[in-house]
């Protein structure tokens, strides 16, 4: 298992808190991704930029992909353990999680905690991103906008 996936799994059970960025006080989906990357040592020597004041409810996947790219992740074609997954969890609603290879670790607002949902990703996948690129399927350093068929 990748270090990012293991760090994400270590967050399971942390309480949900909107705009939460600290596992001690609660996390939202962006907080889960940031904490998993930090826990895995991603960005050693560089700061992982965590968006503040974002609006995932706008459903603007291009804008969210741009924020993900600014945080240092690269869009990839094939999902692997430790990848950050951007999904459309409802009409006009985007959500982030970390793929473990067995399921998706994410902040569940309804259950009010971080959980791992086993099996295939339950929502339409808008994009898959990897820290530092590298590996099979990585593109250049920019994040391409999602294709219309991914909505």
Query: What is the tens place of the pLDDT at every residue in 57-78?
Result: 667 888 888 888 888 899 999 9
55: pLDDT strictly greater than 60: no
CB 12 within 8 A of CB 105: yes
Q: What's the DSSP call for residue 108?
A: E
For 73, the token pair is 């992740």
50: pLDDT strictly greater than 80: no
> What pLDDT is recorded for position 101?
97
Give, for 113, the enclosing helix (H) or strand (E): strand 113-118
Band the pLDDT of 45: cuts 50, 70, 90.
Answer: very low
> What pLDDT is recorded for position 139?
34
Query: What is the tens place of the pLDDT at every residue in 18-43?
Result: 999 999 999 999 999 999 999 988 75
- Residue 110: partners with Cβ closer than 8 Å, 6 or more residues away: none
CB 14 within 8 A of CB 113: yes
Report pTM: 0.81
Residue bearing the bigger pLDDT, 92 or 133: 92
């Amino acid at each position: 298992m990748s270090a990012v996936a293991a760090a994400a799994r270590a967050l399971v059970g942390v309480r949900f808190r909107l705009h939460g960025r600290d596992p001690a006080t609660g996390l939202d989906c962006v907080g889960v991704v940031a904490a998993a990357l930090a826990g895995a040592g991603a960005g050693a020597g560089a700061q992982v930029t965590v968006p503040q004041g974002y609006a995932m409810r706008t459903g603007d996947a291009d804008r969210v992909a741009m924020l993900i790219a600014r945080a240092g992740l690269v869009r990839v074609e094939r999902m692997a353990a430790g990848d950050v997954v951007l999904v459309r969890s409802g009409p006009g609603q985007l959500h982030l999680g970390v793929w473990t290879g067995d399921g998706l670790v994410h902040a569940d607002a309804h259950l009010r905690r971080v959980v791992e949902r086993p099996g295939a990703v339950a929502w339409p996948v808008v994009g898959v991103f990897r820290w530092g690129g590298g590996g099979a399927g990585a593109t250049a350093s920019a994040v391409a906008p999602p294709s219309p068929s991914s909505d």
